A = this chain, B = another copy of it.
Amino acid sequence: MAATIKDVAKKAGVSISTVSRVINDSKPVSSEIRKRVLEVIEELEYKPNEVARSLVTKKSYLIGVIVTDLGDSYVAEMVRGIEEVGKMYDYDILLCSTFGDKEAELKYLRLLNTKQVEGIILISNTLNNELHEKTKQLRIPFVYLNRFYYQDYPTVKIDNFEASYEMTNYLIGLGHKDIAYISNNGDKFYLEKDKLEGYKKAISEHEDCEEIIYFSKDRDIEDGYDVARDIIGFNKEVTAIFCSYDELAIGVLNYLYDNDIKVPDEISVTGFGDIKIASIFRPTLTTIKEPFYDIGAVAIRRIIKELKGEIADNSDIILPFQIQKRGSSIKIK
């Protein structure tokens, strides 16, 4: 068995209170005794049992992180941010993956609560209305991260409208007039709505441009592939395709590659997100960089602040984005 505080106390000939004091240096201890205790600790390789400690202090130094799927690079990126910043404040990450199952979101919310996590970050990709009551009950700091939907919880994100507006203007600036936009869904709860509006606004500000909007079935690579076929088939004059998600853009690039259509020479393609593959793929993808790492980092930062009792209003945090200009877009000839 591992040594306990009692073992140390006995061997050092002091009380457990004293041992506790030296390991936490919570109260003054004579340097003589401190030294002896430290020696015994060394000797016994004593390490305080954090579980016991948690029980009395009510601090677990654990943050629960519920994610959809680490297999999505943007999720992994957020978790990196969460973890790295968490560690700076001695917080550890308890990880749960839902694989898109709403039931699981609720289940893990409960589970993490029994494990006494001090805060919870949920990275979701669906809409979940049952969430509300559960999160209220918990009474622990909670941040909701969702790249697709908008729901009424504290969150961290970029200004999707503005980003989309800028990207469209960037393409217009390159001389493109027939810019197709691949949207996923413009309904109420979708962040996509903002993006779509951004595109529309930019287009409407330029007389020689017209809205060309296509809707994809979903937002995976295959969906981009399918829409690309439609666009190319029906709309020969399109010179640029702006996709509301990088995943769609990759699908578009794949379709164009398979059909020997040169990017960017014949057609420019841009995405949204800057997921990992965007800079690796050939051609490299021009896209809007959503700072996933920072989003995670800021999310946990917010939780820790709240834990420390520092003011934390319920407002969303908006992070800056960037237009990453890469090989898939070019000035029109």
Contacts and interface: CB of A to CB of B under 8 A. Distances in A.
Interface stretch (A25-33, A90-98, A186-194, A312-320): A90-98
A97 B84 contact: yes
A10 interface: no
B71 A114 contact: no
Nearest to A277: B277
20 contacts: A48-B114, A49-B114, A49-B116, A51-B54, A51-B60, A71-B73, A71-B77, A73-B76, A76-B76, A80-B97, A87-B96, A92-B94, A92-B96, A93-B94, A93-B96, A94-B94, A250-B280, A253-B282, A254-B282, A281-B282
A34 interface: no
A70 to B, nearest CB: 4
A233 to B, nearest CB: 20
A70 B79 contact: yes
B114 A96 contact: no
A47 interface: yes
A126 interface: no
A51 B115 contact: yes
B95 A221 contact: no
Indicate the size class of the contact surface on chain A. Answer: 35 or more
Contacts of A280: 221, 250, 254, 277, 281
A71 B279 CA distance: 14
A55 B116 CA distance: 13
Given A55-B55, A71-B76, A116-B51, A83 B97 contact: yes
A7 interface: no
A20 interface: no
Nearest to A256: B282
A324 interface: no
A218 interface: no
A116 B258 contact: no
Given A83-B95, A92-B111, A258 B282 contact: yes
Given A95-B93, A277-B280, A69 B80 contact: yes
A39 interface: no
A70 B52 CA distance: 30
A317 B42 CA distance: 37
Contacts of A62: 94
